[in-house]
Amino acid sequence: MSLNKNSVFFLTFTFLYTSIITSQKKSSIEQDSMSIQKLDEVILMGESKVMSLSKKLFAVGVIDKKDIAKVAGNNLADILNYNLNITVTPDPSSGRSTISMFGLDGQYVKILIDGIPMASDNGIGNNIDITQINLEDVGRIEIVEGSMGVLYGDNAVAGVINIVTKRGLDGGHKWQIQLSAQEESVGSEYALFNKGRHIQNAKLSYQISDKTSFSIGASRNDYAGFFNDLRGKDYVNIQDNAVVNDSLRGMEWNPKAQLTTYGNLNTSIGKHNLFYKVQYYNESVPVYNTYVNGRVDNNTGVVNPTALDENFDTERIINNLNLTGPLKGPTIYNLSLSYQKQKRYYKQFVYNILQQGIESVIADNLSQSSEIWYSKGFVSNLVPKSNFFNLQMGYEFNHQTGFDAIATGEYSSDVVENTLENYDFFGVADFNLTNKFSLFPGARFTNNSQFGNKLIWSLSSTYDFSNTFKIKAVLGSAFRAPNFEELFFYFVDSNHNVQGNPDLDPEDGISLFLNIEEKFRISDTGMLKTALKSYYFDIDGKIASVVDMDEQNRNLFTFDNVDRSKILGFSLENSLIVKRWQASLGMTYMGESTVIDASADSNNDYLWSFNLQSSLSYTLPSINTILSAQLKYTGKTQIVQSGTNGNVVGQTDDFTWMDASARTNITKNLSLTLGARNIFDIVRVNATDTPTGAHGGGGAPSRLFGNGRSYYLKLLYNLNFN
C-alpha cells in the first residue's frame, strides 16, 4: 500500500468537502451544559490571551500537576512513557532517553520550556534527553500533535511538547514551602546510598502581591545505576594471580547524578506580564569499562588490575524571559528572549580496582559546547474588528555557536567551532468562512546561514458540527533542518574519518494530521470523550549515515540526503469521567515504508505495528486517597536497515509495561505516594534491529527498555502560610 502527494491532497479536501455538505443536512446538536470537569483541549502556555489561533488549529493533550503527582514523576521520562503515540527509548550506556512520536524520532519533535525551545547536545529543541527535564516546578505538560513548523520552526514535524512552569500560589497564601524525599528501588536492587534511586526536592514560593510572585528551588536525583547480572566498578576476577576477563565488571545501566536548581519571577506591570526563569543543571555519568587490564606489578609480582573508565559531566544554564500584553485594544504581543549555554566535559582515566581510586588521568577536556541566543516575537489579532478574517505575524531568531569532539566513543582534540543562524518570519491567517468552518493558511520564510532560504507552509482547517463534535485537519510541510552534528562534526585521525556534511539540504515532504473528536454525556456526573486520529508523513531526502571516499581514498563516514520514509497511522482514543472514576483506553495502528539509499530493491511495503494504552484511577474521599494504574502494550516493530548482503528487515519484539500507585493525604500538609513501576519486570526485549554487539552477556541481540520491577515511596510536605 502506498500514497503519493496527490492522493493525500485529494483525500484531505474530499473529506473536508464531504464534512461540510453532510453537516448542512444534519440538525444542530443540542449544546452540552453540564457542569462537570471537562475533557477539553487547552492552548499553549502563554497563548490563552495571545495566540487564540492555536486553540482552533491543534488538538492538545494535557498532563497536569495531579497526573504527575499520581506516579511520583520527577523527570519527563517518568511521565511520557504512558502516552499512546510516544515511545521512550533509553540508552543505558550514555544514560540518555529520547522519544519518538508517531514513529518519528526526537529530531522531529520540538520540546519547549514555557514556549521557548530547549538547548540540546547538538541543536535547540530537538532530540532532547528527557531524563534531564525536571518536573518539580512544572504546572502542566502540553502535548500538541500535528505539523507545527509554521509557528514553531523547523523540526516541529510530528508535534510539540511544551513544559509549562507553575506561576503564583493557590488559595490566597503568601508563602509556600515544599519539601519531598523519594526512595525507589531499581529492580530488586536497593541500598540507602549505593543502590536504587534517591530523590530530594525543596521549593520556596512567595506571593509578594497580587501581581508579583517568585519561587526558588532545587532537585537532586541520584540514580545509582542498574547492576542486573553485572558486579559493579570494583569487581575483578583473579585466578592464579591473573585477571580473567569474564565481562562481569561494570553495570547494565550506568549511574547518573543530577542536580537542578531554578528561580522564577512572575509580575504584572499594568496590563503587561513579565515572566523570567533561570535554571542551572548539572549531571555526572560514569562509564565503567568491562575489560580489565591484568598488569603484574614488577616490584611485588602481584597482579594489579586496572580499567580504562570514563566520566561525562554536563552543565546547562537557561535564562528565559517572556513579555506579553496588549498593543492596542484586543491586539496582543508576545516577546520571548533566551540565552542558554551547555557544556559537556569528558574525562578518561585509569581506575585501580583493588585500591578503588584513580591511578592516572588520560584526558580531561571540554568535549561539547553550545551557546544559544534566541528570540521570538509575534502579534496576534491584527484585524480585531473583522468576524471573517484575522491575522497573526511574527519573527524568530536563533544564533548557535559550538562544537562536539566525541565520536565512536573516543575523544578528539582537533575540534572546530562553528556557528549556525536562523532568521525566520511567519504568518497565519484565520478565515472564518461560516460560523462552523474555518481555514488557517500559514507560511514561514526561513533564512539559514548554512542552507539559505526555505519556505515552510501549512493549511489547517476546523469544522465544528456542534460544541461537542469537532474536526481538525492539518496539512503541512515535513521540514527538518540538519542538526549541528550532521553539518559540522569533525573527527579525523589515523584510525577515524568521521565528518559532518555542510552541504546537506533540509529534509522535506508533507505531513497530514486529522482529528475527529466527540464528547458524550454519560450521566449528570459523567462524560466520555472519543477521538479518532489519522496521520500521514512522506519525508523525502531523509538524512542518513553513509560511507564515502575522501581525497586520499580512505573511507569517509558522513551524512547525506539519501533515504525516504512514509508513515501512515490510525489512532482511537477514549477518556471517561464518571463520579470518582477516571479511565482511558487508546489504540494505534501504524505502518512505515522506508527506502534506503534510493535503491531499486528497497522494501516499499508498509511494516505495521499495534500499540495499546489504558489507565484507571479511583478516588476514595473518605481516606483522601487516589488509586491509579497505567498499562501500555507496545507491539512488534519492524524497520528496514542496511545489511551485509543488502537491505534487511529488523525487528523488536512486543512487550507490555504496567505501573500502579496509591497517593494519600496523611494530614493537611503531608502526603504519601507509593507504587510500583514496570510490574511485568521488563528488562531486555529481543531485537534484531540493533547494531552488532548490542546485547548483554551473549545470546540473542536485544534492547534494554527497563531496569526490572521497581518500588517507590515519596513523602511530600507542603506548608502554606501568610
Residue 691 pLDDT: 54
pTM for this model (two decimals): 0.89
Cell numbers for 351, please give them: 581506575
Alpha carbon distance 359, 306 (integer Å): 8
Within a 10 A sphere around the Cβ of 503, how many other Cβ atoms? 13
Residue 647 pLDDT: 78
Q: Are 505 and 451 in contact (CB under 8 A)?
A: yes
Cβ neighbors of 291 (< 8 A, separation 6 or more) are: 245, 247, 249, 307, 308
Residue 475 pLDDT: 94
Q: Which residues pair with 215 in a beta bridge?
A: 205, 264
Q: Average pLDDT for consecutive 10-residue bins of the chain (722 residues)? A: 40 39 38 36 38 59 91 93 89 84 92 92 86 93 88 91 90 93 97 94 96 96 95 95 95 95 96 96 96 91 95 96 93 95 94 96 92 95 92 95 69 76 95 93 95 93 93 93 84 78 92 94 90 95 86 84 92 95 96 78 79 96 96 92 77 95 96 97 89 46 91 97 90
241 burial class (0-12, 13-18, 19+ CB within 10 angstroms)? exposed
Q: Are 49 and 380 in contact (CB under 8 A)?
A: no
Q: CA distances (Å), 192 to each of 222, 226, 227, 257, 515, in order?
A: 11, 15, 15, 15, 48
Condensed to tens digits (0 to 9), the pLDDT of residues 620-656 reads: 999 999 999 999 999 999 888 777 677 788 899 999 9
Alpha carbon distance 15, 24 (integer Å): 14
Residue 676 pLDDT: 97
Residue 507 pLDDT: 93
* Residue 93 region by backbone torsions, left for phi larger than 0, else alpha for psi between -120 and 50, else beta: alpha
Cell numbers for 55, please give them: 486553540
Alpha carbon distance 670, 331 (integer Å): 45
Q: What domains lie within the chain, and their CATH numbers?
A: 5-717 (2.40.170.20)
